């Protein structure tokens, strides 16, 4: 048996002598009794078999944060989902677009569509209030925050189920919430390992900051980068690229010149990409354009059967949209 001391620097155990010259037998600092190992009094087996009670975990409801790829796969096995691939540089307005879409739905102001459901409602709420922040502390003249993902290699998906007024059909949309840096690394380093899901996208939204296409100082470079992006996408998704909606954001600041956009249309045509241009004002700085202008059209083109990819099997009986089993595919798998 040994006795312990309240002072961590005590040397009695090693030297038998107290540096404070106290008598170890009567020292006021002495505490309790330590059991020394090897004296036969410690039941090691019993100690090893004693288990701590695991902390009580409260039951959880399924969360409504962004969906993981696994959760997305489960949803896609239940019903047909329109997967949208969203690409664009960090300032392009991707998050602003998603926020504005959510705000339109929250006030029943999205022309042509009604909200039915979302499995990621809290994620939308978080994004809308800017709870996802820039990770490097950069805060330029920026409308939205960067998207920082828990898993650097996997996309987080937002889910929306909408009812199209024109047809009454319900459509499920999966919208990845990606950081703009992923688009930059696709262009600069051809890093495609995180973008596999694009292979099963029904449509791609390539977002471009309208300001950069309007201002003469930035236009040339913006067109150059957009062309590169189109080429990278076409190469990665070869042999068939899904239809591309080229989304020009910040319509409230004006539209780019026609000849500017023609250059991009020509580029897409040369790559065999079916491209349509959509103009968007997620927020409205001026008085002439309402916030959310263009989002309804963007969605209409996204879920329109005309925008869908090549017909795998021509449906001669007009049952398009109801053959979910035939249309099911795994996320990331090519058609």
Partner 1 sequence: MKANSIVLVGAPDSGKTNYLGRLWAALRARQGRLAAPEIPPDIQYVEQTLEHLMHGDFAPRSDKSLAVSRHNFVVPVKRTDVSDVDGFSIVVPDVSGELWKSAVETFEISEEWMEQLQRSVGALLFVRVLSNQNVTPLDWVTAERLLKLHPAVEDESHKIPTQVMLCELLRFLEYTLQPCNEGTLPRVAIVVTAWDLLDAELRAAGPMAYLQTEYPLFVGKLADTERVEVKAFGVTIVGGDFEDQEFRTEFLENGDLQHAGHCVFELDDKIMEEADLTYPVAWLVEPLQKT
For partner 1, the binding residue among 72, 100, 183, 308 (CB under 8 A) is 100
HSE-CB at 282 with a 13 A cutoff on CA atoms is: 22
For partner 1, the binding residue among 18, 68, 112, 115 (CB under 8 A) is 115
Stretch that binds partner 1, among 7-15, 137-145, 200-208, 311-319 (CB under 8 A): 137-145
For partner 1, the binding residue among 43, 78, 111, 117 (CB under 8 A) is 117
End-to-end Cα separation, the chain, in angstroms: 75
- Site pattern 264..283 for partner 1 (x: CB under 8 A): -------------------x
φ, ψ of residue 206 to 5 degrees: the values are -105, 115
- 62 near partner 1, rule: CB under 8 A: yes
Contacts of 49 (CB under 8 A, 6+ apart): none
DSSP tag of 313: S
- 106 near partner 1, rule: CB under 8 A: yes
For partner 1, the binding residue among 45, 55, 129, 305 (CB under 8 A) is 129
DSSP tag of 161: E
Rounded Cα gap, residues 65 and 156, in angstroms: 9
Least distance between partner 1 and beta carbon 38 (Å): 45
3-state SS class at 15: helix
Among the listed residues 295, 212, 224, 287, the one whose alpha carbon sits nearest the alpha carbon of residue 252: 287
Number of residues forming the site for partner 1 (CB under 8 A): 44
Stretch that binds partner 1, among 112-120, 217-225, 302-310, 312-320 (CB under 8 A): 112-120
Neighbours of 80 (CB within 10 A): 18
Least distance between partner 1 and beta carbon 75 (Å): 14
For partner 1, the binding residue among 34, 131, 220, 326 (CB under 8 A) is 131
- 114 near partner 1, rule: CB under 8 A: yes
- 311 near partner 1, rule: CB under 8 A: no
- 145 near partner 1, rule: CB under 8 A: yes
Report the DSSP beta bridge partners of residue 281.
Answer: 293
Torsion of CA 43, 48, 50, 53, to 10 degrees: 160
Stretch that binds partner 1, among 127-135, 151-159, 187-195, 315-323 (CB under 8 A): 127-135
Rounded Cα gap, residues 224 and 214, in angstroms: 14
Q: What DSSP assignment string belongs to 266-293? A: HHHHHTT--EEEEE-BSS-SSSSS-TTB
- 125 near partner 1, rule: CB under 8 A: yes
Query: Which token pair is 333?
Result: 């798998």
Nearer to partner 1, 135 or 266 (CB): 135
Stretch that binds partner 1, among 28-36, 56-64, 188-196, 252-260 (CB under 8 A): 56-64
**Chain positions contacting partner 1, by CB under 8 A:** 56, 58-64, 95-96, 99-100, 103, 105-108, 114-118, 121-122, 125, 128-131, 133-134, 137, 139, 142-145, 161, 163, 170, 283-284, 291-292
């Amino acid at each position: 048996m040994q006795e312990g001391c309240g002072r961590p620097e005590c040397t009695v155990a090693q030297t038998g002598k107290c540096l404070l010259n106290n008598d170890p037998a009567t020292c006021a600092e002495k505490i309790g009794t330590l059991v020394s190992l090897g004296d036969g009094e410690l039941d090691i087996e019993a100690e090893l078999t004693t288990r701590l009670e695991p902390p009580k975990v409260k039951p959880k409801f399924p969360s409504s944060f962004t969906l993981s790829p696994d959760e997305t796969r489960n949803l896609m096995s239940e019903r047909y989902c329109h997967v949208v691939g969203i690409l664009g540089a960090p300032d392009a307005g991707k998050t602003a677009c998603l926020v504005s879409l959510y705000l339109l739905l929250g006030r029943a102001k999205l022309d042509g569509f009604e909200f039915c459901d979302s499995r990621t409602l809290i994620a939308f709420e978080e994004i809308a209030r800017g709870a996802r922040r820039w990770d490097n502390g950069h805060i330029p003249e920026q409308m939205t925050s960067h998207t920082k993902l828990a898993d650097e290699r996997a996309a987080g998906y937002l889910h929306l189920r909408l009812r199209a007024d024109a047809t009454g059909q319900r459509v499920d949309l999966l919208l990845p919430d990606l950081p703009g840096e992923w688009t930059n690394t696709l262009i600069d380093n051809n890093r495609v390992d995180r973008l596999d899901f694009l292979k099963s996208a029904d449509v791609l939204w390539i977002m471009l900051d309208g300001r950069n296409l309007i201002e003469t100082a930035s236009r040339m470079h913006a067109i150059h980068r957009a062309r590169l992006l189109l080429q990278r996408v076409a190469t990665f998704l070869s042999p068939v690229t899904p239809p591309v909606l080229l989304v020009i954001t910040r319509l409230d600041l004006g539209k780019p010149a026609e000849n500017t956009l023609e250059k991009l249309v020509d580029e897409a045509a040369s790559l065999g990409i079916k491209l349509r241009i959509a103009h968007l004002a997620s927020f409205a700085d001026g008085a002439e354009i309402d916030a959310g202008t263009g989002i309804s059209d963007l969605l209409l083109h996204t879920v329109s059967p005309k925008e869908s990819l090549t017909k795998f099997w021509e449906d001669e009986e007009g049952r398009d949209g109801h053959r979910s089993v035939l249309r099911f595919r795994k996320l990331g798998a090519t058609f």
